[in-house]
Chain A
């Protein structure tokens, strides 16, 4: 039976010390009730309370951290099956696999470091490198790990079936909290021992969700709890099924042995294009880590974009940076259109202006990510905010005219905006789809 925030609060120290990261014990209790944090965050909770709260206070999917410092990666702690129900919290970490025997691996580390892009004002990049042992030689493998580590500050996954190789590598890089991949039925005790000794998260690989759950449970008994699950599916179809089963078991049944983030691998035996598509499916359907050997930007950019989109909080739409944008190559006589900084509004307007093949300036006003009508209703898109945006953009220096096109839905603003800004207002179409026609007519009139 789930406990309420108040039930939990009664069992907490009630000192409001803030050591858990929440300002008060009540706030912490509320977070626990909504499974947004773990009881482990409170250093002062009594053993009695811990026993009472038990699994009721645990998030249904454990939060697992790989790496340390700036580039640490947090996984898990998800609360829903569909993003519209709330949001997905910890975005899928993208890992690029480097093989020990590949002479190019070390130069590729440099390329991977450069896989960073800026999309709609957000920095998006690869998160992890998966260093794969192939020699069976602890010395060789640990040297490889050491060299790669020296060349990147990305968090690491150490991939090997050999506890000896892993131990050697952990001697060199254990302090960076890499993910150890993976414990299986055959090496479970040794792998769990390494994870304990070096305080590292551990991947668990079983055959299917059932066996994986059993292995995870045994490892937990040994005292290792930061786990990542791999069900070693034989096909994309099985992978999707397993991911869904694990997420549902964790969220809907509170089945602890599957309450961990998951890891998925793209199929190395298929073509690169298909591997990228596979990875996009894993991002959409619940994988916390996707490991791939793709590293060319034409594959990575769409994958990082997929991740950015799927993990966008539906309550907090992506906002465009409010500023002056150029569509095509506008000149001093080009039209100026004004709209809001809701990303979808911007994309639609920009797309239509581009389709018209008439170069134009687009002034994006800060409306806190709301669309034209919503922003107008909330008084965020008005004569004052538009005038301020005009002034701050410096657009007046770029044009030989002082005419602006206002979205048709807010035609009512025209008079006041003209008074306030000194610009002449042309009322544009209500829907963006009318923009090409409007711009063409405008051009004809002025020609």
Chain B
């Protein structure tokens, strides 16, 4: 039997998030992702220098709509982002925090941009791991708030999202000025994914500092589209396309906990089994599948999902050759 290895010419960019004191920040640890020269977990063929990183979501307003199964692990801290983030780090062992500034949104509180920057500061003070800052998905409010957040976190080398095809300039300028990494989001569309990367790069922002968010469809709700878009992005990267060589972030927690299958109680759907397992498993399985398609950072919500996805990553990384 002849050996069969692909000869890839490209590699995924290596991106580091977070900065220690020595590097001008206050983090005790940093997270480095990317650098793969082969497809996910195919160690026999190329190098996979870094493990995928797992972030836990922290919201800046009380998530009343969350199901009980998801609220339970955070019971006492849901109204306090700093304490919530600290719990994610200390008790649940997240690699990173993804702070979601949802209250900025006109429909969800319409809070002041200054308050978002204060929350960023409070979370940074309460934690020692790298921070992802996630906008509220209202372009106007994000353009007002994210530059303030970038400033408040100057030196910390955060990952800030998200830039889109129609709204990338303000965030790119802010990330450039305060030396943060940027998330480029596209709506499950490989051409737009590339286009956003090009647009951001044309602003003088280094393509090597971009992370792609291809937009996640949850298990049962369009994951097959995300899965194939990610595989195509990764194959393009390995074939040497520099504008597709960015590592990929998957916003799994948000999307999977919107699904009926994750949220529904056993009383409502007796045939679906225990929601205490089903919810976290829906989230974890969405994550594990997207890791097979090339995910480098996964945003999660339930601590059990984090623990079990990490266990899968351990098994797939094995003892490096």
Contact = CB atoms under 8 A, between A and B. Distances in A.
B24 interface: no
Contacts of B219: 302, 305-306, 309
Contact of A252 (B4, B39, B43): B4
A209 to B, nearest CB: 7
B4 A301 contact: no
Contact of A355 (B228, B258, B288): B258
B273 A297 contact: yes
Contacts of A277: 281, 284-285, 288, 308-309, 311-312
Given A241-B44, A281-B312, A433-B137, A302 B4 contact: no
A436 interface: yes
Given A285-B292, A343-B222, A357-B65, A273 B231 contact: no
Interface string A340-377: 00011001100100111100000000000000000000
A255 interface: yes
Interface stretch (B7-15, B52-60, B238-246, B313-321): B313-321
B271 A117 contact: yes
B289 A306 contact: yes
Interface in B260-304: 261, 271-275, 277-278, 280-282, 284-285, 288-289, 292-293, 304
Contacts of B293: 284
Contacts of B273: 296-299, 301
Contact of A312 (B44, B224, B261, B282): B224
B232 interface: yes
A244 interface: yes
Contact of B315 (A82, A237, A258, A298): A237
Contacts of A253: 2, 4
A15 interface: no
A255 B278 contact: no
A248 interface: yes
Contacts of B188: 344
A36 B139 CA distance: 49
A310 interface: yes
A210 B231 CA distance: 28
Contacts of A119: 220
A298 B258 contact: no
B258 A437 contact: no
Given A284-B289, A301-B272, A305-B220, A276 B281 contact: yes
B66 interface: no
Contacts of B2: 253, 255
Given A237-B318, A274-B311, A306-B219, A298 B277 contact: yes
Contacts of A238: 318
Given A277-B285, A309-B220, A343-B222, A236 B315 contact: yes
Contact of A298 (B65, B137, B228, B274): B274
A213 interface: yes
A278 interface: yes
B221 A274 contact: no
Given A237-B41, A309-B219, A436-B107, A276 B231 contact: no
A273 B312 contact: no
B276 to A, nearest CB: 8
A56 B27 CA distance: 60
A84 interface: yes
A302 B282 contact: yes
- Majority DSSP secondary structure for residues of A touching B: helix
Interface string B91-113: 00000000000000011000000
Nearest to A311: B224
A26 B277 CA distance: 53
A403 interface: no
Given A302-B278, A305-B219, A310 B227 contact: yes
Contacts of A398: none
A241 B43 contact: yes
Nearest to B228: A84
Contact of B221 (A240, A272, A310, A347): A347
Given A299-B281, A305-B261, A347-B222, A273 B304 contact: yes
Contacts of A273: 277, 280-281, 284, 304, 308
A245 interface: yes
A280 interface: yes
A83 interface: yes
A355 B225 CA distance: 22
A357 B293 CA distance: 33
Interface of B: 1-2, 4, 39, 41-44, 65, 106-107, 137, 188, 217, 219-225, 227-228, 231-232, 235, 258, 261, 271-275, 277-278, 280-282, 284-285, 288-289, 292-293, 304, 308-309, 311-312, 315-318
Given A257-B1, A277-B284, A306-B289, 10 more contacts: A258-B1, A274-B311, A276-B285, A280-B285, A284-B289, A310-B227, A344-B222, A344-B225, A348-B222, A354-B258
6 contacts: A83-B227, A298-B275, A299-B273, A302-B285, A344-B217, A347-B222
